[in-house]
Structures are given as C-alpha cells and as structure tokens.
Amino acid sequence: MSKYNFPQDLRAAQLALLETRAAYKQYATTLPWSAEPMPGWEGDKQLHSSYQSRKEDSPGYTPQQAAEVVRFQAELLRLSIEVATHEYWQSLSGPELVDARMALQHAHEPTKDEAA
C-alpha cells in the first residue's frame, strides 16, 4: 500500500496515460520509418564490424496512419495535463510532492502482499 492516498480519478488518469503510451509505442512499431515519403539509404561497412546500416524506401504515412498518430498524441497530451494539474498535488510540497509524483507512476502495480 502506498503511503499516499491518491484519489481514484488521479489513479485512473495515470493508468490511462500509461496504457495509452504503451498502445502508441506498439502502434509506432507498425509505421514506416518516415512520416513523409523518403528514399532509403545504405551506409558504408564499418571497419572491424560486419554491421552495415541501411534503410528501405519509406512510403510515408497514409492519411489514416497520420490521423491515428495525431489522435494518440492529443490523448497523451490531454492525459498528461490531467495528471500533472490534478488538484491533489496542491496538498503537497517540496520533496514530498516529488516523492508522491514518483509513487503515482507505480500505484497501479500490485504490492508484495497483493501479489502473494
């Protein structure tokens, strides 16, 4: 149990922020490497290494992909503002405020007692 009694709406907003960030990160792995169409490239082989960098041509994002990226970014911004400006933070100050903000990031994780 956390030593902070976070309000349920703040906990819910933080969890939604973490879930949205994870979903965006997962979605980003499906996107082309460039938002705009760009030619690929191939780098020179590095001395004492078999590694050779290269990128295929990027077709750029489709309008649907670009819209989805904008939607994710807007939702992440909205949730970040909701968490950062929540009225709960007004009740804390100094190092306690920093500690509480860090604790909120892990408030959704089960405690050792709950995991057993």
Burial class (CB in 10 A: 0-12, 13-18, 19+), 11: middle
The average pLDDT across 98-107 equals: 94
The average pLDDT across 6-35 equals: 97
Domains of the chain: which residue ranges? 1-33+60-110
Tokens of 74: 């807007």
Give which of 73, 59, 58, 62 is closest to 24, Cα–Cα.
Answer: 73
How does pLDDT run across 66-91, given as a tens digit for each residue?
999 999 999 999 999 999 999 999 99
pTM of the model: 0.84
